[in-house]
């Protein structure tokens, strides 16, 4: 199988189901941003040492491939059987957030991203996740997206925020509180 097909040379791409759309179509933006998010999660995974966090991040990467495949499908024409996001996927993120948050000091101010490389990368990943969520919400306004996909992305950005705090704490790095100039 060749990696290049030359079919996209005219600025269009094909969704699962056969529909051709421009490469700037909102559906393409949404699943392309999911791919970017997945890549950033892989980067964060390579920066952290704790195996448990790596295992959870690998599972998240699998779910993002699932979401990408759902978004890459024409909901009216796709006949392919695709995996789905389950309520248990959202619950896993919530469970992980609760476990990490219980081990962290109470948050008393907004935090500036940074303190170490893993924290900063995790915050970049969180921002990409929020963009992926915004694009998916926008797509949902005209073409139905499964509610669990929206919930998962919303919870994932919360997970990434708490993970940034947790990996800083595990590395002994101080959190940087925002001190607004008044």
The pLDDT of residue 124: 98
Would 10 be classed as within a structural domain? no
Would 135 be classed as within a structural domain? yes
Cβ atoms of 101 and 162 within 8 Å: the answer is: yes
* 36-87: pLDDT as tens digits: 999 999 999 999 999 999 999 999 999 999 999 899 887 777 676 777 999 9
Residue percentage of the chain with pLDDT more than 90: 64
| Residues 26, 139: Cα–Cα separation, whole Å | 6
The pLDDT of residue 1: 75
Domain span holding position 161: 21-67+113-174
Would 45 be classed as within a structural domain? yes
* 94-128: pLDDT as tens digits: 999 999 999 999 988 899 898 899 999 999 999 99
pLDDT greater than 80 at residue 17: no
* 125-161: pLDDT as tens digits: 999 999 999 999 999 999 999 999 999 999 999 999 9
How many domains does the chain divide into?
1
Cβ atoms of 176 and 111 within 8 Å: the answer is: yes
Helix axes 51-71, 117-140, angle to 10 degrees: 20
Phi-psi region of 11 (alpha: psi -120 to 50; beta: other; left: phi over 0): left
Domain CATH number, residue 49: 1.20.1200.10
Would 1 be classed as within a structural domain? no
Average pLDDT score over the chain: 91
The pLDDT of residue 78: 63
Would 179 be classed as within a structural domain? no
Would 128 be classed as within a structural domain? yes
Cβ atoms of 37 and 64 within 8 Å: the answer is: yes
Q: SS3 of 18, please?
A: coil
Tokens of 75: 């909901």
| Residues 27, 169: Cα–Cα separation, whole Å | 38
Would 101 be classed as within a structural domain? no
Of 120, 100, 104, nearest in space to 112 by CA: 120
State the pTM of this model. 0.92
């Amino acid at each position: 199988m060749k990696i290049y097909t030359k079919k996209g040379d005219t600025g269009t791409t094909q969704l699962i189901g056969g529909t051709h759309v421009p490469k700037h179509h909102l559906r393409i933006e949404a699943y392309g941003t999911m791919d970017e998010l997945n890549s950033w999660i892989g980067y964060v995974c390579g920066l952290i040492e704790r195996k448990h966090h790596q295992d959870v991040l690998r599972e998240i990467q699998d779910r993002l491939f699932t979401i990408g495949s759902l978004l890459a499908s024409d909901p009216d024409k796709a006949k392919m059987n695709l995996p789905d996001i389950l309520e248990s996927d959202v619950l896993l993120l919530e469970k992980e957030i609760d476990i990490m948050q219980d081990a962290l000091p109470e948050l008393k101010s907004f935090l500036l991203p940074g303190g170490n490389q893993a924290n900063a990368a995790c915050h970049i990943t969180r921002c990409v996740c929020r963009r992926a969520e915004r694009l998916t919400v926008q797509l949902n306004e005209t073409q139905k997206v499964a509610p669990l996909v929206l919930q998962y992305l919303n919870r994932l950005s919360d997970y990434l925020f708490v993970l940034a705090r947790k990996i800083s704490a595990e590395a002994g790095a101080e959190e940087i509180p925002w001190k607004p100039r008044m």
